A and B are shown apart, each in its own frame.
Chain A
Amino acid sequence: MRATRIIYRRELGAYLRSPFAWVLSALLLLVAGVFFQAYALAGDMLSAIVLERYFFIMCGVAIAAGLLLSFRLISEERQTHSLILLNTSPIRDTEIVVGKFLAALTFLAILLVLSIYMPLLIKVNGKITSAQILVGYIGLFLVGSATLAIGTFASALANNQLIAGVVSLVIIILLLVMNLFGAKLDGVVRTVVMDLDLRRTHFDPSFQRGILNLKDIIFYLAMTYFFLLLAVKTMEAKRWQ
């Protein structure tokens, strides 16, 4: 995994030097702040409810950030012809995909860390525990990770950044409405479909409320692994096309 480290370092450097990434972060934090003020802090509520509402907002922000940080990962390199440097180097497609994914995940983590002042404000003025905040942030990190993996797959699939963005958006929207689809079904299929929902089944009832469930952690890790695997297989298949 030496190549993964090399690619990770370059990609993270590119994020940290990119105006796009910082402008995006600023916009997302602004949106989070505005919603935090307008929705989470609206009216007299228990601090636990305020925190719950905060994580509801931040889950949307993490999903948006995951989408916007990932759709360019591979498709942009393909469009600018720099991907050929990686493709003709003695490294595996897995190392390329994982290196890029981890760099995006690190930047997402930086973005989440920058938002920590909001729950700290709740903690200072209310009665919530650090563990509740930590669990919520673990959830945000995992949701972001799964979204990034979806975007990475779409980016590996499409030759064009715009198409990659649209493909990942469609997949994410589908996974966000699985709960609604599942509600119309019966039996095992209902359970399976509802279990595939990206946030309502695995984030809202648990991480958002400060509850840590192993099955939810496994779901997001499995989702991340599955879409990264698809990304690797797509890269390999493109060499045969």
Chain B
Amino acid sequence: MIRATNLSKFYGGKRALGPVSFEIEDGETVGFLGLNGAGKTTALRILACDLRPSSGSIEVGGTDAVADPHEVRKRIGFLPEHPPVYPEMVVTEYLTYAGELRGMSRAETRKRMPEVLDVTNLNDVQNELIGTLSHGYRQRVGIAQAIIHQPKFLILDEPTRGLDPVQIVEMRNLIHDLKQAHTVLISSHILTEISQTCDRLLVLGKGKLLGAGTEEELSAKQDSVMQISVTIRPPKESEDVEEAVKQVLSAVDGVTKIADVLDQGDNGLLFSLDTKRDCRADVSRAVVEAKYDLIRLDFSRSELENTFIRLVGGTDASN
């Protein structure tokens, strides 16, 4: 278990984090979600014993990380934002080095190597210089060094940063595999990545913990305002169909506001609705009963996106 109590960090006189308190149970996969500069990386670097907190305490598996960072480092594998690799080293040579730094003998790293290469899918490049590898492979090497010593806790800071869509899917699958054997902490500002891989979220903003819980728990705590987009193709001969559709949609129970209408020509009219609940079924029924062609109906933003934006204080928060 990881327990952080009133953790804070100042860089010079500037507060980068805290005070924040949270707990992470063994076996959980927890996502640190926040905009750039929210304090995610600082929090993870403190957890990985790379930085010392300015105040507060942190316990990892019952050991105080400030008083005994060595013991904690043995239990933690850390992939920072930029994989900490040496371009002039061969992949297996580098992983042996990383294992030995974590207290493993050369024989132990040799024994563990095939499993790590399998899990991270590095078999094809195991004898290549790291400097010649693509960014995606370097990320994998970064994860391999983090798991070589079989740590209980795995900390991944923006693991999909800079990856192409195919590599992102591969990385997501890799993280899914790692969840089976490790307590995983992931930071990201990419919501889909977090929502697909994590059991629980910690939302950070300007160094403070803005929310904690599952996606559903976080949504429930907010005054739920969802956005639904509806595309309707009006009959060709009809006039002033926009007003007519607006009346139909406004009458649906749960719709609070028709935020925007966009004429897409032959592709129909796109209506953006603010709703109090998921009323997609009611909307579709109302449109069909009014004898309009329903082309498309979906959330404009995912529920997590809405929750996140509200937690961090609206779309202007990143500015």
Q: Please report A residues at the B interface, Cβ cutoff 8 Å.
A: 3, 6-7, 10, 14, 17-18, 81-92, 239-241
Among A6, A18, A239, contact of B100 (Cβ-Cβ < 8 Å)? A6
Asked if B76 contacts A88 (CB within 8 A), the reply is: yes
Return the 10 tightest CB-CB contacts between A and B, nearest first: A85-B84, A81-B82, A89-B101, A90-B73, A90-B70, A82-B84, A84-B84, A88-B78, A6-B100, A88-B48
Q: Encode B135-153 as 1/0 by CB contact (under 8 A) with A.
A: 0000000000100000000
Among B52, B70, B74, B101, contact of A86 (Cβ-Cβ < 8 Å)? B101
The answer to whether the Cβ of B216 comes within 8 Å of any Cβ in the partner chain is no
Asked if A90 contacts B50 (CB within 8 A), the reply is: no
Interface size class on chain B is 20 to 34
17 A-B pairs with C-beta separation under 8 A: A10-B86, A10-B89, A17-B88, A81-B80, A81-B82, A81-B83, A82-B85, A85-B84, A85-B98, A85-B101, A88-B73, A88-B78, A90-B70, A90-B73, A90-B101, A90-B102, A239-B52
**Closest residue on chain A to residue B48 by CB atoms:** A88
Among B51, B71, B83, B98, contact of A90 (Cβ-Cβ < 8 Å)? B71
A119 to B147, CA, bound (A): 52
A17 to B78, CA, bound (A): 28
> Smallest Cβ distance from B240 to chain A, in angstroms?
61
A14 to B82, CA, bound (A): 20
**Closest residue on chain B to residue A96 by CB atoms:** B101
Which chain A positions have C-beta within 8 A of B50? Answer: 84, 87-88, 239
The answer to whether the Cβ of B103 comes within 8 Å of any Cβ in the partner chain is yes
A88 to B102, CA, bound (A): 9
Q: Given that A87-B50, A88-B78 are known contacts, is A6 also in contact with B86, CB under 8 Å in the complex?
A: no
**Closest residue on chain A to residue B100 by CB atoms:** A6
The answer to whether the Cβ of B299 comes within 8 Å of any Cβ in the partner chain is no
A83 to B71, CA, bound (A): 19
Q: Encode B25-62 as 1/0 by CB contact (under 8 A) with A.
A: 00000000000000000000000111110100000000
Q: Please report B residues at the A interface, Cβ cutoff 8 Å.
A: 11-12, 48-52, 54, 69-71, 73-74, 76, 78, 80-86, 88-89, 97-98, 100-103, 145
Which chain B positions have C-beta within 8 A of A240? Answer: 52, 54
A6 to B83, CA, bound (A): 20
Q: Given that A81-B80, A84-B50, A84-B78 are known contacts, is A90 also in contact with B103, CB under 8 Å in the complex?
A: yes
A92 to B49, CA, bound (A): 12
Asked if B101 contacts A91 (CB within 8 A), the reply is: yes
A80 to B268, CA, bound (A): 52
Taking A6-B101, A85-B101 as known contacts, 11 extra A-B pairs with beta carbons closer than 8 A to each other, sorted by chain A number, are A10-B86, A14-B86, A14-B88, A17-B88, A81-B80, A82-B86, A83-B84, A85-B98, A86-B101, A88-B50, A90-B71
Q: Given that A82-B84, A84-B84 are known contacts, is A10 also in contact with B97, CB under 8 Å in the complex?
A: yes
> Smallest Cβ distance from A6 to chain B, in angstroms?
5
Which chain B positions have C-beta within 8 A of A83? Answer: 84
Which chain B positions have C-beta within 8 A of A84? Answer: 50, 78, 80, 84
A81 to B84, CA, bound (A): 6
Among A6, A87, A91, A92, contact of B97 (Cβ-Cβ < 8 Å)? A6
Which chain B positions have C-beta within 8 A of A82? Answer: 84-86
